[in-house]
Amino acid sequence: MNKSAKIWMNGELIDWNDAKIHIMSHVVHYGSSTFEGIRCYETAKGSAILFLDEHIRRLSDSSKIYRIEIPYSETELKEATIATIRANGHKACYIRPLVYRSVGALGVNPYRAAIEVAIATWEWGAYLGEDVLENGVDVRVSSWNRMAPNTLPSWAKAGGNYLNSQLIKMEALADNYAEGIALDVNGYVSEGSGENIFVIRDGVIYTPMSGQSILPGFTRGAIMRIAKELGYEVRETLIPREALYVADEIFLTGTAAEITPVRSVDKYPIGNEKRGPITEELQHNYLRVVQTGEDPYNWLTFI
Ligand code: PPE
């Protein structure tokens, strides 16, 4: 990865190489962290963070679910994020705020471990490979399901959830797919290891419901809003596996993945096996905001 100069850790900007934790930290043993993935874009009007307020709020929500009290206010975390980007001199970057249970005492009981916060920023390119925003990716349906409801809460972006994501991702990579699409425990389409999914047929846009073991992504929300404004019908609904195979277009959304077209699922060709026209229109309208800095929706925080 591209190292940056500084990482914000517990209120101070320190050197990247000094941002360390102890091996006996609770998080190392039990996955007890919450985090975010945010992007800062170099727009035509200057550098701007996309959905900063929303991401910091989700970090608070994820932490609340795990009874973690963050020792900083949301305002302080936003200021710290901007300070970190400035200290690293990025024009564009990926931002990773992380809240974790550190040292105190071990054992599952998390309450005796201190809560710490770090914010790292670094320059990160295409998430699912080069050229994929145009050419699309090949994916498989995972043999792993997403977490069942009332097991690991999918609305919390918590470190431990990404063990499930890793199983999905490693299985996909082992068979040379870029990504795996997981079903929920009832067998309906849920999401990718790090992306939400959209399926288009006959001009109607479908996406799984927020109760289907997904992380309700901000990119998902942005795409639903853009699609409705363009006059498309958008349905949050149950999507059976076979709907993927007969779709006209499919795409994945996420902060890292942006809007990535899918050209095949389980080797079934999707559409013409390249980016479909509606996918391209939605992608164009989304990327226009972060490229031009024209922000009718108030999504950007200029720094
Ligand atoms: N589902 C999952 C499981 C997920 O991790 C993400 C983001 C999304 C949906 C999309 O959410 P949003 O970014 O708000 O649109 N995944 C982040 C982490 C990726 C990683 O490899 O780490 C991301 O895209 O930044």
Q: Confirm if 190 and 209 have CB atoms less than 8 A apart.
A: no
**pLDDT confidence of 294, banded at 50, 70, 90?**
very high
Distances (CA, A) of 269 to 62, 97, 139, 265: 37, 38, 11, 7
- Tell me if 217 CB under 6 Å of ligand 1: yes
CA dihedral 88, 94, 97, 100 (to 10 degrees): -110
Catalytic site positions: 157
Per the confidence metrics, is the pTM higher than 0.95? yes
Using a 6 Å cutoff on CB, does residue 254 contact ligand 1?
yes
Residues 25-71: tens digit of each pLDDT: 999 999 999 999 999 999 999 999 999 999 999 999 999 999 999 99
Give percent helix, percent strand, percent coil of the chain, each to the nearest 5.
30, 30, 40
pLDDT per residue over 220-242, tens digit each? 999 999 999 999 999 999 999 99
Question: Can you tell me the distance from the alpha carbon of 126 to that of 136, in angstroms, rounded to the nearest whole number?
Answer: 12
Three-class HEC string of 257-290: CEEEEEEEECCEECCCCCCCHHHHHHHHHHHHHH
Average of pLDDT values for 141-160?
98
Question: Where does residue 210 rank: exposed (0-12), middle (13-18), buried (19+ CB within 10 A)?
Answer: middle
Angle at 298 between CA 54 and CA 288, to 5 degrees: 105
- Domains in the chain, CATH or no CATH each: 6-122 (3.30.470.10), 132-292 (3.20.10.10)
Tell me the CA–centroid distance for residue 14 and ligand 1, in Å. Answer: 26
For 105-118, write each residue's pLDDT tens digit.
899 999 999 999 99
What is the band of 276 on the pLDDT scale with cuts at 50, 70, 90?
very high
Q: Which amino acid is at 228?
A: K
Span 241-254, average pLDDT: 98
Predicted pLDDT of residue 2: 87
Q: Which atom of ligand 1 is nearest to the CA of 96?
A: 25
Distance 206 CA to ligand 1 centre (A): 19
At residue 1 the predicted structure's pLDDT band, cuts being 50, 70 and 90, is confident
User: Ligand 1 within 6 A of 253 CB?
Assistant: yes
Atom of ligand 1 nearest to the CA of 127: 21
| pLDDT tens by residue, 182-199 | 999 999 999 999 999 999
pLDDT in the model for residue 114: 97
pLDDT value, residue 81: 98
